[in-house]
Amino acid sequence: MESLNDKPRIAIISPEEAPYSATFIKAHIDLLQAEVRHLFGIFFPTDSADGRFLLQEKEILRKIFYQCKLFRTYKGLFKDLPLAKYLQQEKVQLVLAEFGPVGAEVLSVCKFLRLPLLVHFHGYDAYMYTTLSRYKKLYQEMFEYASQLIVVSQHMKNQLLQLGAPAHKLVLNPYGPHDAFFEVNPTFETKNFVAVGRFVEKKAPQHTLAAFKTVLEKIPEATLVMAGDGPLLPACEQLTKQWGLQNSVRFIGATSHQEIISLYKKAYCFVQHSVVASNGDSEGTPVAVLEAGAAGLPVVATKHAGIQDVVVHEKTGFLVAEQDIESMANYMITLALDPEQAKQMGENGRKIIMDNFTMEKHISVINNLITKSIYVC
């Protein structure tokens, strides 16, 4: 047995190598107390960050096996075995699967090698209808085999319980913002509202724009900065022109942590109108909400998924029902007219994040699960 003082060797497997919005995966790779091998691919790994694993599927063979309906045979011969060989060569002791479908796809390899498997759910993987339908059987097998199942909100924990996950395997472990956000001190000098997130259906950026349109009628000097990109960005840009908001709304695209920190220093309030998408997709616990709270900003958002775990209504900001654009606008106006309330709510939020949602705590929980899974289970 390895010494408990040695760093465990783990494989972190994620859908993509470095998506700008999935900052939590980079945090796991950089901060976990382990020797990490990072593999990625949707949803079975096809590449590795060290360049030692490259899965090149044989298209002709794949078609032959699929036509003969030998799906499992093909996967076993041309996908599972190369991955198993890599994990063995690298002496990997545990697999951390980022997102449920990744865990389901590599389950057979973990079983074959008798490797402990931690599965970290993040959002759509616990809610999206097509994902749940496609992986229904594999999820049940994964629930049974996995050492632990990590979730980021109480709402997600309840959802996985309904899907059949054993209660004793579910670990509630919300994300934490990077420490730099706690050093931000907003000036509250201008009525600058900020939204940070992908332009996708579950973020409902068009609702945030609609609420801000109403805010401008009462607070004409107000501004809105929207950071991020995605399929709904062109539509939101068009709405801005249609509603005549070009002088008050700014779109700045995908941003780095340092750029967001600079943005928050000049911000007045963070806004986000998350909703359950038509395909069932929902938030986990949005990192941007945690970062805004850590930065001392009040938050106006929806009573949606993990947001409810972070924002305390009337103490650290305001929460509204999904689709309730009018209430969102009214709360934004209320804060805009009362800088002292905005500042106090921001400080309340910073304390709550510092006490309950730190990156140190988030990483510590995973480190403990890794040790327990390798050396105890």
Q: pLDDT digits over 231-275, tens only?
A: 999 999 999 999 999 999 999 999 988 999 999 999 999 999 999
Nearest partner of 96 among 153, 34, 54, judged by Cα:
34
Among 371, 183, 178, smallest CA distance to 264 is for 183
**What average pLDDT score do residues 288-305 get?**
97
pLDDT surpassing 70 at residue 115: yes
- Residue 70, H or E segment: none
pLDDT score at 13 = 97
pLDDT for 171-217, tens place per residue? 999 999 999 999 999 999 999 999 999 999 999 999 999 999 999 99
pLDDT, mean of residues 26-49: 94
pLDDT in tens, 303-338: 999 999 999 999 999 999 999 999 999 999 999 999
Question: H/E element holding 195?
Answer: strand 192-196
If pLDDT is split at 50, 70 and 90, which confidence band does 1 have?
very low
Going by pLDDT thresholds of 50, 70 and 90, the confidence category of residue 53 is confident
Domains of the chain, earliest start first = 9-175+358-376 (3.40.50.2000), 179-356 (3.40.50.2000)
Backbone angles phi and psi of 253, in degrees to 5 = 75, -170
Could you tell me the two tokens for 208?
A: 């945030």
**pLDDT top residue among 81 and 279:** 279
pLDDT value at residue 142? 98
Give the pTM: 0.90
CA angle 320, 122, 32 (to 5 degrees): 125
pLDDT of 74 over the 50 cut = no
Percentage of residues of the chain with pLDDT beyond 70? 91
Long-range contacts of 208-211 (CB under 8 A, 24+ apart): 208/271, 208/272, 208/273, 208/328, 209/236, 209/239, 209/240, 209/243, 209/245, 209/249, 210/239, 210/325, 210/329, 211/271, 211/273, 211/325, 211/326, 211/328, 211/329, 211/332
